[in-house]
Every structure is written in structure tokens, then in C-alpha cells.
A and B are shown apart, each in its own frame.
Chain A
Amino acid sequence: MFQSVSLEYFLILAAVLFSIGSIGVLTRRNAIIIFMSIELMLNSVNLTLVSFASFLGDSAGMIFVFFVMAVAASEAAVGLAIVLALFRQKQTVNVDEVNIMKW
């Protein structure tokens, strides 16, 4: 299906997306945006898996993607619920202000 575009382009795109996601997690201080960055990382993984599966002709990778999407959705649900519980106490979603416990 993708004969005209070689595998490397897909992998590079996925790697770039993954890096953007990781940098977002490390630099952003808003909990919601951190979760968005994590979603970006997981989606870049999906892209890698699908492109490998299509390139190798092995459907296992595509099946894996469905599991990843389901897990990502449940992780986001739990994560947002936890952010909500925290927001009710502190009226903030800034992770720098979540700092009762230190070394």
C-alpha cells in the first residue's frame, strides 16, 4: 500500500513525535498538558507499530495498536480523575505546586 513511501520516513516521523512528547512531559508544568504529551508518545508508538506491521506483513503489530489505544484511554481516564481529586484540594493543576513531599 505504501510502496511509494519508504519505511524510514514513517519511523523518523514517529521518532520525532515521540521526542516532542517526551520533551513536553519534561518541560510543561500543567498536569493536563503533561497527559497530552504522554498521549503523543503513545500515538507515535502506534505509528511505529503500524508501519512495521505493514512493512513486515505481520498483523500482530496492528492488533497491538488496538490494545495500546484501549490502555491509553483507560490510563487517561484514571489520570484525569486523579488530577480532578487534586484540583478539588489545591485549586491548581500546576505540578510545581504539588510538592508537600520532598527528599
Chain B
Amino acid sequence: MIDQFIIELQKSISLFKPEATLAVTFVVALIADLIFKKSKNISGYISLIGFIVTFYFLFWQKGQNYGTFTQMLSVDPFALFFKFLILLTSFFIILMSFFSKELYINNRSLGEYFSLIAGMTFGMFLLVGANNLIMIYLAIETMSISSYILAGYTKEIHRASEASLKYVIFGAVSSGLMIYGISILFGLTGTLNLFEINNFIANNNVNIYALFFSVFLILAGIGYKISAVPFHFWTPDVYEGAPITITALLSVASKAAGFAVLIRFVKAAFIDNTQLDSEGIWILISNIDWRFIIAVLSVLSMTLGNLVALWQTNLKRLLAYSSIAHAGYMLMGVAVMTDAGVTAVMIYFASYLFMNLGAFFVVTLLANKIGSEDIDDYKGIGYRAPILGVCMVVFLLSLTGLPPTFGFIGKWMVFSAVLESNFIWLAVIGVLNSVVSLFYYVKIFRNMYVRGVEENENKENYQFHPIAIIVLLLLAIPTILFCLYPGPIANWAAASVGIFLG
């Protein structure tokens, strides 16, 4: 008995190496900042090294399917895919931060900034593997509390502190709602483990209204993280006020972690996994049509995000509404909940990583030069910064979902998964929304290339750091390349849908 426990513990610890590396990175980066006070970037470099070591350990987790620490955290292909995405995002964010002027003004110390990014990555790693309601709550809070601080990091800028106040109030309320739901679910089923909850619901008569209430509250907490529509109020303000790099991190990584936990929570706790049929049966389906509820959330997110984005003049705020719309597209894949749907969500995230980080990086670089994120200030900028202009067009095409970009593959997979499950009305609304989104993405393009060309004719071109251009190309080239060769990522995602099931 004890021996068995020790063997399991050893295996768990050996599978915990990536997370442990991130925790060590967090501490070392913080201490290095105290020792080397003169160098601002030292903790940034340490975080980059820590992330590379984490990549190395992640490769060793390949093919594992195990519930570590008595099923608290699962290490499975599904979690691994999201861990790679999240780590890659954090890596790019740190690279982007080196080129962001707004972070370096006023002689600001950046040690906490870089180490908190490592800490937030740690929280997201725990979240994608969480199998236990305690773990889900703690991981969400680890991620959130770091992001509250990061959102207000440039605290003498008015917008930033306002954004972080709004973020912390909405965040605390939604996590309060979520944990109330968890406490009721615990009372109903007598356990906090997702598999045991599944087992209990399958074999016992549970009060359906209490169950509905608790699951609704938990979904509200997760929906807040992925900024799905009834819980999206914080998104535009926080995205506009926070430093651009942090906006990019929130829009990609924390959304990815939120989707991972949503899929795992629904799949592990509420779908009858004893059936081999990939369709899966929602145990809760007896009285309430959960697929329909998630589909409605998805339609609301897409429609509201796209329609409100139409009249935005601040590019960060526009991208915030567009990220709400993208959450809607991805929820379509969650609503069908087939293997094809989950694969589509994963591929969509891979494309979303490159295109959204790329768009935000262009905004960062241009904000350094023109000191504004207003779309009207972008007039004629495509000619003064040719490489940035071309890259921005690639990212915008990809965000719209037009070929030949990776975003097209992502959208196409989602729509085909939805059609396979006979949700025709949902797919139609999704396509119509994509058309609407084209309008505001083209507005950016038009300002960059068509309007105000004469005023800028005799001004010299903007100069950018060569490494910044390399980082930008590292984001732009995959955006096109993976459309032409989607095979590797599509196969990897298709092989990664398997989640650990007790």
C-alpha cells in the first residue's frame, strides 16, 4: 500500500517537471532582479531560458496518459497540446515586451513583470490539466491574480489602473460565483473529483435543478475567462487599458487555458464516457439541452463581438471585440463536443496564436513610433513601414479567415465539424459573422494603404530593430506556411483529443 503510493508519487513528480521548472523560473527571475538592479532585462532573459528548459521537459511528456498526484492533475495529450500553445505564447510575449516602449518609460523596474508572466504560465499549465474542482479553482486564481497585477503594471497611466480595477472586481465576483457553484456540486455529489462526479451522476438520482444551478455558476466562472458574451463586460476595457503585450497574453494564453478547462470539465464530468461512440451522450441532457445553451452563447458572442467592433476607433479595443467574436467561433466547436469539434478548437487556437500575437506585435511596434493606437493615426502607414504593413495584412486576412492563411484552416475545420453534427443554423450564423468581420478588418487595411497617402509622401520611413522584424516574421511566416501545409498541426491536434478519463 505504502510502496504503491511511493511509486505513484515518484512517477507524479517526474511528470511534474515542466511545472516545477516554471515555478523555479518565477523565483529565480524575482531574485535575480533584486541582485542585478542595474540590468532591466535580466529577469526577462532568465524567463526565456526557463521557458526553453520547460519546452525540453514537455517533449518528454509525449504519449503520457496519467492522473498525477492521486488524479489531481492529468498529464495527457490534450493537456500537452495546450501546454505547448501556452508556453509558445508566453515565450513570444516576453520577446515582444523587449520592444515595447510603454513598459520602459519612467525608468520602470521590470523584474516583477517578467517573473509574473512566468507565474501566470505556471497557473495556466495547472489549469489545462486540472481534474479536481480544488485544482481548477486554485489554478484559475493563480492565473487571475497574476494577470490583475500585470494589467495594471504601468500604473501611472490612467487607463491601466482603471483597467486593472475593473478586472479585479469582475474577476473576484465571477470566481465567487464559480466557487459557490463548486460548493453546491460538492454537496450534491459528495466528491470534488471530476470522474467521481461523472460516476455519481450516472448512477444516482441527482436533483436536476440544483445540478443545473451549480453547473451554470461554474460555467459563468469559466465563461468569464474565455470572455463569452454574457460574461464579457470586462474584456474591452481591460484590453484597451492594459499594456499591449499583456493584452496579447490575455487574449491568447488565458483564453486557451479557459477553453481547455471548459472542454475537460464538460467531457470528464458530464459525458458518458463508457460509450465508445465519439458522439458521447450528455448525462445532463435528460431535461436541459446543454448543447443548445452553449450554441446560444456562441452565437451571442460572435454577433455582439462583430457588431460592436464595427464602430470602434481604438485598435486595441477593436481587437478586444474581435477576440470576443473569436471566442464565439471556438465555442461552436465546444457546442458540438465531438472529437472533430474538439480538434477544430485546437487547430483554431494554433492559428489564433500566430495571427493574434502578430497583430498585437504590429500594434506594439507602431505605438512606439506614433504613440497612439487610434485607427485614424494609421493613415498611410503601410508605405512608411512596408514590412509591418504587409505582415499586418497577412494577420488581418488570417483573422477574417480568408485563404491563403492559417486562420482559414481553423475556421474551415470548425465549420465542417459543426456541419457534421447537423447544426446547420449555427454554421450559417458563423459564416455570416465572418462576412461582417471582414468589414472592420478592411477598415484597418484601408487606413494603412488607401487613405492619407499624400500627407505621408515626403516623410522618411520608420526604422525598426532588426530582431523585432525577425520576431514579426516568425509570427507571419507560419501564418501562411501552415495554410499550405496544415498536415502536421492537424494530425497532431487530431491525435491529441484523448483526455485522461480516470
Contact = CB atoms under 8 A, between A and B. Distances in A.
B169 A95 contact: yes
Contacts of A71: 137-138, 141, 145
B161 A45 contact: no
Which interface residue of A18, A67, A78, A89 has the most chain B CB atoms within 10 A? Answer: A78
Which interface residue of B145, B179, B317 has the most chain A CB atoms within 10 A? Answer: B179
A82 B163 CA distance: 10
A87 B243 CA distance: 20
Given A48-B180, A101-B236, A101-B237, A85 B190 contact: no
B146 to A, nearest CB: 9
Interface residues of B, number: 41
Interface string A32-72: 00110010011011001100100110101101100110010
A58 B172 contact: no
A63 B155 CA distance: 36
A38 B163 CA distance: 19
A86 B165 contact: yes
Contacts of B187: 11, 48, 52, 55-56
A31 B165 CA distance: 9
B191 interface: yes
B164 interface: yes
A38 B161 contact: no
A89 to B, nearest CB: 6
A75 B141 contact: yes
A82 B183 contact: no
Contacts of B183: 45, 48-49, 52, 61, 64
B416 to A, nearest CB: 35
B180 A101 contact: no
Contacts of A74: 141, 145
A38 B172 contact: yes
B148 interface: yes
Given A45-B183, A48-B183, A58-B190, A98 B162 contact: yes
B158 A100 contact: yes
Contacts of B138: 67, 71
B161 A58 contact: no
A78 B317 CA distance: 25
Nearest to A80: B168
B241 A79 contact: no
B230 interface: no
B31 to A, nearest CB: 20
Interface string B174-188: 011101100110110
A49 B186 contact: yes
B147 to A, nearest CB: 10
Nearest to A55: B187
B211 to A, nearest CB: 15
B141 A82 contact: no
A83 interface: yes
Contact of B158 (A21, A55, A89): A89
A12 to B, nearest CB: 13
A67 B155 CA distance: 29
B134 A41 contact: no
A89 B169 CA distance: 19
A99 B159 CA distance: 9
Interface in B210-237: 236-237
Contacts of A2: none
B158 A60 contact: no
Contacts of B155: 85
B180 A44 contact: yes
A42 B175 CA distance: 9
B277 interface: no
Contact of B191 (A60, A67, A83): A60
Contacts of A44: 180
B500 to A, nearest CB: 20
Given A64-B134, A67-B137, A74-B145, A89 B190 contact: no
9 contacts: A18-B180, A25-B173, A35-B169, A52-B187, A60-B192, A67-B137, A95-B165, A101-B159, A101-B236
Given A45-B180, A48-B180, A79-B148, 4 more contacts: A34-B169, A85-B155, A95-B169, A98-B165
